[in-house]
Amino acid sequence: MKVYLNGKFVEQSKAVVSVFDHGLLYGDGVFEGIRSYNGLIFKLREHIDRLFESAHTIMLTIPLEKDELISVVKQSLRINRLRDAYIRLVVTRGEGDLGLDPRKCAQPTVFIIADKIELYPKKLYEEGLCLITVATQRNVPEALNPQIKSLNYLNNILAKIEAINAGYEEAIMLSPSGYVTECTGENIFLVKGKQLLTPPPFIGVLRGITRQTVMELAHHQRLHVQEELLTRHDLFNADEVFLTGTAAEIVPVVKIDGRVIGRGIPGRITKKLQQAFRQVTKTAGVTY
């Protein structure tokens, strides 16, 4: 595998950054996870735009223009001969000293990894996922806005550890007020009749690109799509629940905190949205 690192492609074993890089020392940086399907990079422009927005908010200057970065993403797939892949694009503050001051970092670090990914086994897409609500709360937006896809994912990792220790693959994280926010790496939706509901961004939710795509697909299927404050009670009594994410795509949920959701199998609307999503990945992409 060849990895893009600061202007050139190097072998995986040589793709290294300094131990003084503030991305490593402090999680000071931003990233995007991007998918390609059969030679098409899904929603590439949207991912690049979001990367630049995250960087702008933390006052990090990306040393490439958007079109240059798009070109390098395409090269990463071509050079590794990948058509179906997961691309991790990362920009860190760069090498500095042991202090927090970002002014001590002269040049940002940029690297891109293109590889395969399987977040969940195929069986879970067919039979559904069981979730647990964990004690680790979602960061409040005033502390670390979830719209910034930063390298600081410890909040999510702590929740993931709780889920694993309890014997689950994934966890639901609540806001300090007890509202449902999202899972450790995915947005969450529920179906109730003809309604498709998902938590609003202000509660501590990333505006996921797959999330937005699913909301658009649901609208075309005449579902009433709405962002709404949700509680665990709402999830327990939903007809269907599913998760969305770039790596996860659309994953059905059949049980939450021991409560069976709907009939305990992936629901009809979830399946229809999975099919519609597979179709849109064949057209809503950039060739390389």
Structure tokens at 238: 């939903």
User: Which residues, at least 6 apart from 75, have a Cβ–Cβ distance to it below 8 Å?
Assistant: 4, 9, 288
Residue 77 near residue 64 (C-beta atoms within 8 A):
no
Half-sphere exposure of 80 (CA within 13 A, CB side): 27
Catalytic residue chosen out of the listed positions 122, 149, 192, 255: 149
Output phi, psi for 156, to 5 deg: -70, -40
Number of residues assigned to the chain: 288
* Residue listed under structure tokens 């072998």: 11
Return the beta strands (E) in the chain as ranges: 2-5, 8-11, 29-37, 40-42, 85-92, 109-115, 129-133, 170-174, 180-183, 187-192, 195-198, 224-227, 240-245, 249-256, 259-260, 285-287
Looking at residue 83, its amino acid is R
Q: Does residue 155 contact residue 135 with C-beta atoms inside 8 Å?
A: no
Amino acid identity, residue 284? Answer: A
Give which of 250, 182, 181, 260 is closest to 218, Cα–Cα: 250
149 included as an active-site residue: yes
CA 142, 165, 160, 100 torsion: positive or negative? positive
- The bridge status of strand 195-198 relative to strand 224-227 is parallel
- Helix 268-280 to helix 209-220 angle (10° resolution) is 110
Q: Which residues are catalytic?
A: 149
